[in-house]
Chains A and B, each alone.
Chain A
């Protein structure tokens, strides 16, 4: 989709006026983060909704981090790592590949729409793929609307779903 089309699509589909999806992306440093840099160097354009957290390897992405992102109000989470076979740490991404279906099934149990969680491999050379992924993910989550997980849980009378208190000192 061309940048302009994305902007039009954004305008047309805004479900809640003034609401902008908040998306957290966990990227491995060696492939996907560099791929995102590559999109920047190529001056590709994508929406401002995705905030990137850098980890050394996608194998570091503890499912708990993803759950925490939702518990803290994220509307969506994006996980990217090196393609299978390209891992800087041999096979860290194999662990990612094994864990992500688990995340998917837990999210389904919690009633969080599957569209809110995207897992893709992005190599250091795939700037275009990354930009396209951000555009597509943002649009997909925009269509689903706000999640506001803490409020949803609160309204159902089951607490916040996850502890919203900050971890105390010595967390």
Chain B
């Protein structure tokens, strides 16, 4: 374990008297040397006792630069190495590896940041050079107090938690289990399927969304390594990567598999509420199935609408329904976590393009439910009437909104999926009702992606009209003044120089944007980084696109931003691979900067126990001293700061190390 070489006495340990220090100063191709006089820095640092080598190099991080470090360590028997270059965040690990390759302990290395915190921020070359010298001198002094350390290796518990039972979560769970990992899938709704279940057909293949889902759900729920928990939410989590202890709260479903006569139970229920699965287009009972073929194939009770009247229980003879069931909590142990919490479509405000005022103004999501033969109207667009003669689509509703012109909930970014989804739906209308005339009002339109471009072409071929509006002058939806049509969309056509147009409509469809799903509690639990758009943020959009800055937490699907099903599945598979690679590695390497108690000095006062954020310190009752649990210690050093006897030292940041740096920075500052 860590710190095998530390004696831990008092303030840390004494300075190495026989230090042979090599200092490498990087030009960074001019990024540093254009401001800092690296030659002068090298000359002055070379004067320091123990410094046997100072070299400048164009790019120390390059292969030749690293080779030079290795060569000089061997050639000159260096036992301490200092590199003055960019931020340690970038290349500290690179240089530690180079040092290790030369056979020197990688923690006998000190990194000095003379780019981000010197050459890039200080204008005056003389001041920059003097600051660089100060910082490197302090680092040189610090290296005298360094001790060899070993990386800590923490075993990874070989199980994964997937949060979210939509298509991304299902794909991630399936992929992880295929690799032989134990998976728990947690879905906060009573049924799996997420947003995809609410679609009818999917682009570009035209397959039925719920049939695709059913295949996936089948793979997941039948897999012996996967446990599915519905109505379940993560409420608490402790521990770090490799060893998360997660508490999940499971709300009672109300019904179980013993319920045979589901139809009668549902029919008996007198309570009705708006059906959120159909975006409020119809009503459903308090005991309900979300959609035909949903999983689990057992009704659930919506406790917000249920009055516990007991009629459903009576209807089935008391078998399989329990109205007094209590929520329960389960404890999960997992090494990695995949977040697949999805998105929520933007819900227009009351009155936005007439939404809420005119019943014939609906959202694209509602249109898709209406097109669905299994939907609330059995596929009829205008229930109880003839098919609409004219349909108008308004694009970019609640998306790509200009700041200050719109409401607070509207998004300024592009929701990416709605151009294709809207034209996909338009073509579906055309398929069933070729005589229906369709007009699109758009800002910009692009059905991007392989196999998607055809949607625009096909729509244009079939006579679908496209009218471009200016973002500053969005279309207006009003009742037809001549009362020949239910509604008229008025717009200025940008492509004919602002000609005012009117398009009569039986039905107005708002192609709404995509917003984040509210997961504030999870964000708090896992300290998730969140972007300005409120979606979860990856470490790096290109180099590490599915990893979160919280180690061991991965991103799958639309919790990261608007994306279509193909993209969400690709991200989910990527997240599963990354998570599986973590588990396959069996252990994770961590910096050895943990705390150690000098039992000879410790008075057993227990101050450290009260400050440790990880409860990693306990008191040895027999010897009356504090003890650090190395597996739990994360190396923050708070205990070292709190210890009134200086009995606790943090490896890599001992009092001696920090004070030596401090004193050398301030050398010559005090004049007595």
Contact = CB atoms under 8 A, between A and B. Distances in A.
A43 B120 contact: yes
Interface stretch (B95-103, B130-138, B165-173, B337-345): B130-138
B19 to A, nearest CB: 14
Contact of B641 (A52, A62, A86, A167): A62
B12 A48 contact: no
Contacts of A73: 666, 668-671
A153 to B, nearest CB: 9
Given A59-B611, A89-B613, A41 B120 contact: yes
Contacts of B121: 39-40, 43-46, 131
B319 interface: no
Given A24-B665, A51-B131, A73-B666, A40 B636 contact: no
Interface in A87-105: 87-92, 95, 99
A57 B638 CA distance: 7
Nearest to A154: B672
A56 B113 contact: no
Interface in A29-85: 33-34, 36-37, 39-41, 43-48, 51-57, 59-63, 65, 68-69, 72-75
A163 interface: no
Contacts of B637: 55-57, 59-60, 92
A65 B650 CA distance: 14
A91 to B, nearest CB: 5
Contacts of B431: none
B47 interface: no
B522 interface: no
Interface stretch (B361-369, B373-381, B564-572, B653-661): B653-661
Interface size bracket, B side: 35 or more
Interface string A1-39: 001000000000000000000101000000001101101
A3 B121 CA distance: 11
A157 interface: no
Contact of B672 (A47, A150, A167): A150
A60 B665 contact: no
B636 A56 contact: yes
Contact of A48 (B11, B87, B128): B128
Given A72-B670, A89-B613, A167-B11, A52 B117 contact: yes
Nearest to B115: A40
A41 B116 contact: yes
Contacts of A46: 121-122
B158 to A, nearest CB: 25
B457 interface: no
A86 B528 CA distance: 9
Contact of A72 (B122, B656, B669): B669
30 contacts: A36-B116, A37-B89, A39-B121, A43-B121, A45-B122, A48-B131, A53-B658, A53-B662, A55-B637, A56-B635, A56-B637, A59-B637, A60-B637, A62-B640, A63-B641, A65-B659, A72-B663, A72-B666, A86-B527, A87-B613, A88-B527, A89-B634, A89-B638, A92-B637, A95-B638, A148-B670, A150-B672, A151-B672, A164-B670, A170-B14
Interface of A: 3, 22, 24, 33-34, 36-37, 39-41, 43-48, 51-57, 59-63, 65, 68-69, 72-75, 86-92, 95, 99, 131, 148-151, 154, 160, 164, 166-167, 169-171
